[in-house]
Structure 1
Amino acid sequence: MEIDPVAAGAEASPQGLVDYLSTTPELAKLLTAEKALVFRGFGVTEETLDPVMDRLLPNRLAYVHGNSPRTKVGKNVYTSTEYPPEFTISMHNELSYAHQWPSRLMFFCHTAAETGGATPVVDGVRWLESLDPEVRAAYTGGVRYTQNLHDGFGLGKSWQDTFETSDRDEVEAFLSSTEANWEWKPDGGLRVTQDRPSTTRHPVTGVEVWFNQSDQWHPAALGDETAKSLAEVLPPDELPQSVTFADGSPIPDEYVIQVRDRGLESAVDVDWRQGDVLLIDNVLVGHGRRPFTGRRRVLVAMSD
């Protein structure tokens, strides 16, 4: 759903958007009903973004235990995933592999790409229903994610970047609260293993949605040729990240490819304009990124 100053009955300015959000008590219900909201035409800039975020994200969260490469640019504000522009980022719900995940995500378009660069969004119910019964049945037992995090030098992310700390005690305290298994490796790295469900239910509506990142953690579904080559030379348990079914059995290549492709096929693109703000329900809606050319800068923040 797109909301512009005319629809909001507000001034076409960042303060106008803040005023609208401050006097709209039913925003949570609206987001649940529409799943995604685009605020367009208010002229929001990076300098005027904080008051908008304060109203859209009641409790802004840090990207702790996140697996994608990002840069922190403010108070729990990050760049969107820093991945080569020629590749598609497949559909996913943020931190769906973790013990806890944000309920809301907010994206802000600082600079729209020259071409492409849309953020596709997909209804999680539609995504789940698009999958073959055989695939859905195979996933009913859940999935197992494994991360190999280096100690500052190596492939993928370090454990320090992943947990935003260099204190091992803090990492262990965090992991102890997440039902994860972990071990410190002789080289100073950290291996984390988590068993998670493949679907979840929305806390308000109760609908069941597809809710896992198996295709993004599985080498067969990767679009990056470097990542594919890496998967060919390293055993699965030594990759920066990998996934199996929760019982440890391998997920067939064709299953994760179907999950990836049908999520993208079922998605609707949000084509960015400078100053746009997108708010999504992170359980009801998955998101991704289309390839692009030129410079593109989209910031993201999240809330429970």
Structure 2
Amino acid sequence: MLESGSPKKPPLPRAARREVASDPAAWVRQEPLAAGSHLPIVLTPAMPGIDPAAWARASLPLVLRLLHHHGAVLFRGFDVGDAARFERLVRAVAGEPLAYEERSSPRSAVANHVYTSTEHPPEERIFLHNEQSYNLVFPSRISFCCVTASPEGGATPLADSRRVFARIPAEIRARFIAGGYQYVRNFGEGFGLPWQVAFQTQERTEVEAYCQRHGIAFEWRDRDRLRTRQTRRAAGCHPFTGEPVWFNHATFFHVSTLPRATGDALLAALGEADLPNHTYYGDGSPIEPEVMNILRRAYDDERIEFPWERGDALLLDNMLTAHGRAPFAGPRKVLAAMSSPLPWSAVPEVPAS
């Protein structure tokens, strides 16, 4: 206690206190990729040290709202640059990664159903598509992360499947919606994946059982060759947003979508019936060249590209957003994981117009 008349001590200065928002949504900035662009929405950390998986888990309703509105969410600046961190983020926002079944492109497993994105030759463009839309049960989420960005090219182009749907003339949409499309594969001609790789088995009986479970007609031919045929829907309404989407591989697997020299060489060597991949209308009749040109143009007119940065992670709603790959040169490593399985039976039909 101070004696009477003693001078009072000056108050101690208050330590400066850093204000930290309690709402996790404020820890991350949201911005478009470019002015006027809706796809993808870019999330960047507003402060250092944010664990993207922990943040995404705590902010999952926000992430899903953004995903359903934009179709694609790009995590940038969080350094999700290896398989372990990528897998944690995928589990936080999209659930358990899925095994790659009924394969159509060469990939290598990295860890726990995380794969290389594709191993097609780097000089080839991979056309826009929605992952495994030809499966009866397909992944409703597909995610990518960039471990090594190519010094030249190598973008993962995107297209909004809602806008692709809207660009296709109503009469063309109507025929595909009414009858679907047919996808024919031939295994064992020395082109494409062998059936042993596509179905991940050496046993014919396991292939037959898979086909029977998944509504695929199959035919064993001489020299251990296999032909499969499956008819699938071409469009549906997104189960959450209710919006109609163009969701199929009719364009991707049609021989005319290949570079002309490649397609012509395959047709000359094999004939149409023995092509590794080809598509038809649902009744098996050929899709007219002019229709294929319109379908390709609809995708290309909605195409959006951006250069990868190391540590980027991209989450796609597989029904809302198609993806592809631009040609590239030099080293490139992009990982992929599929998740959240969805059966076609849970996808509402597009209402008749």
Cα distance between partner residues in 2 of 1:108 and 1:157: 25
User: Which sits farther off after the overlay, 274-283 or 190-199?
Assistant: 190-199
**Other-structure match for 1:198:** 234
Cα distance between partner residues in 1 of 2:237 and 2:87: 31
**Other-structure match for 1:120:** 157
Deviation (angstroms), 1:73: 2.1
Identity of aligned residues (%): 37
**Other-structure match for 1:106:** 143
Q: Confirm or deny that 1:20 pairs with 2:60.
A: no
For 1:22, the aligned partner's letter is R
**Other-structure match for 2:289:** 253
CA contact (8 A) 1:215 1:257 kept: no
Cα distance between partner residues in 2 of 1:99 and 1:68: 18
**Helix, strand or coil at the partner of 1:4:** strand
Cα distance between partner residues in 2 of 1:30 and 1:10: 22
For 1:295, the aligned partner's letter is P
**Other-structure match for 1:67:** 104
**Helix, strand or coil at the partner of 2:122:** coil
Q: Confirm or deny that 1:284 pairs with 2:320.
A: yes
**Other-structure match for 1:139:** 176
Cα distance between partner residues in 2 of 1:106 and 1:222: 25
Deviations 1:237-274 (A, max 9, x none): 21111111111110012222321232022122232100
2:303 corresponds, among 257, 263, 267, to 267
CA contact (8 A) 2:158 2:305 kept: yes
Cα distance between partner residues in 1 of 2:176 and 2:214: 21
Across the two proteins, how many residue pairs are aligned to each other? 297
Deviations 1:20-46 (A, max 9, x none): 022113133332122100011111222
**Other-structure match for 2:187:** 149
**Other-structure match for 2:43:** 3
Deviation (angstroms), 1:10: 6.2
Deviations 1:200-221 (A, max 9, x none): 2211112111111122211112
Deviations 1:120-158 (A, max 9, x none): 1111110011123343234232110011122xx722111
- What is the TM-score normalised by the length of structure 1? 0.91
Deviation (angstroms), 1:99: 1.3
Structure 1 residues 168 and 10, CA gap change in structure 2 (3 angstroms): farther
In structure 2, list runs of 5 or more residues that go unmatched: 1-40, 341-353
CA contact (8 A) 2:131 2:139 kept: yes
CA contact (8 A) 2:87 2:114 kept: no
User: Which has the higher Rg, Structure 1 or Structure 2?
Assistant: 2
Q: Confirm or deny that 1:45 pairs with 2:81.
A: yes
User: Which sits farther off after the overlay, 18-27 or 157-166?
Assistant: 18-27
CA contact (8 A) 1:87 1:224 kept: no
Structure 1 residues 257 and 88, CA gap change in structure 2 (3 angstroms): farther
For 1:265, the aligned partner's letter is D
**Other-structure match for 1:221:** 257
- What is the TM-score normalised by the length of structure 2? 0.79
CA RMSD of the aligned region, Å? Answer: 1.8
User: Which sits farther off after the overlay, 246-255 or 67-76?
Assistant: 67-76
**Helix, strand or coil at the partner of 2:284:** coil
CA contact (8 A) 1:149 1:189 kept: yes
Cα distance between partner residues in 1 of 2:94 and 2:202: 27
CA contact (8 A) 2:90 2:96 kept: no
**Helix, strand or coil at the partner of 2:305:** strand
CA contact (8 A) 2:86 2:313 kept: no
Structure with the bigger RCO (C-alpha within 8 Å, sep 6+) is 1
For 1:4, the aligned partner's letter is T
Q: Confirm or deny that 1:243 pairs with 2:279.
A: yes
For 1:18, the aligned partner's letter is A
